[in-house]
Structures are given as structure tokens and as C-alpha cells.
Amino acid sequence: MGPPPLTDATLARRIYDRAHLTGEFRLRSGVASGEYFDKYLFEADPALLREVAEALVALLPQGVDAVAGLELGGVPLATMASQLSGLPTLFVRKEAKTYGTCRLAEGGEVAGRRLAVVEDVVSSGGQLIQSCAALREGGADIMAVLCVIDRETGGGDNLAARGLELRPVFTMSQLLEAPAGRRRARHR
């Protein structure tokens, strides 16, 4: 008889305990924040990465051909989701390289594929919007954008305005509500 099944609240607490930092942080969007979720802390933990990827796989829309992980934080998540789902992975650069294959996405063709784009944390969605636009220009159909944490700072609305559906594992509110038994928050 193995461990009890993982609940959403349990996973939220584990992510919070592992990755929540307090201090002074500047987000990619340029906004200052007194708290930060260091995604590399939960992505570097093999057991937690697997649990997070299982939650992402549950969010995949029907008919997806591949998962596309955005550089850098989306890559380990997409890779693990690929392992769990059996779907191929694409590795999406912030911009196409200027040498070799000169591709934006590595690991296969983009044209004609239905993709679920994977990111770790969404704030304003700026990089996601740029990357999804470039993937669309390359002929991809973006079926959904999956993320681990939606900071609830406008990213979902910004994506929706461009016809992109955001499917988060957790919102910031859910993570902040979950840590009933958490240890003391760590500081940077």
C-alpha cells in the first residue's frame, strides 16, 4: 500500500514550502514584488517536478500533438510532461538562433501541429505572447497555454486578448491559501 494520493492542497503546500521566498524582487514584467516563487527550486526537485508535471498533463486539451516548453523554465516541465503523456516535446527559444538550423523551436517541426505551450510562472504573459505569436507564424495551432503558477497580475487576460487560453495548475491565491501547516517562509 503506497503513499496516500496527492491532493491539490498537498501539492500546493509542497510547492509553497519549496519555492516561496520573501524579500524584494523585480519580476520579468518590471513590477516589484515582496514575494517570489523560485520555480527552479520546484523544478530541480525530482519528485516534486514529477508531481507538478502530472498536474500539467491533466490540463492538456484533447487532440494536442506536442508540448512546447519555453526557454528556460518551461523546458524541464514540458520534458517531464512528455515523459508522462507520451507526447513529443518542442523546446522553444526566446528568439530563433542565428546559426545552424536558425529555428525558434527545436525538436521537430512546428507547422501544422497542435501545441500546448508550457511555462512555469505567468505574470504579464509578455514573453508567452511573443513566443506564441512566433509559433503561430510558423504554422502552429496553439490549443492552450499551461503554467504551474498564474500570479494573477493580468497575464491570463493579456493571453485571452490574443486568443490564448491559460490553464494554470494553481493561481497565486490558491498557493497562498494552501500553506496552513507550512514552515516559515524563506528569504532571499
Alpha-carbon torsion angle 158, 177, 167, 71, nearest 10 = 80
Reply yes or no on whether the pLDDT at 159 is more than 70.
Answer: yes
Query: 155 exposed, middle or buried (CB, 10 Å; 0-12, 13-18, 19+)?
Result: buried
In the chain, where the domains are located? 50-176
- pLDDT tens, position by position, 14-37: 999 999 899 999 877 788 888 888
Crossing angle for the helix pair 46-58 and 8-19, nearest 10 degrees?
130
- Is pLDDT above 70 for 184? no
Domain 50-176 belongs to what topology? Rossmann fold (3.40.50)
**pLDDT tens digits, 43-57:** 999 999 999 999 999
How far is the C-alpha of 20 from the C-alpha of 187, rounded, in Å? 9
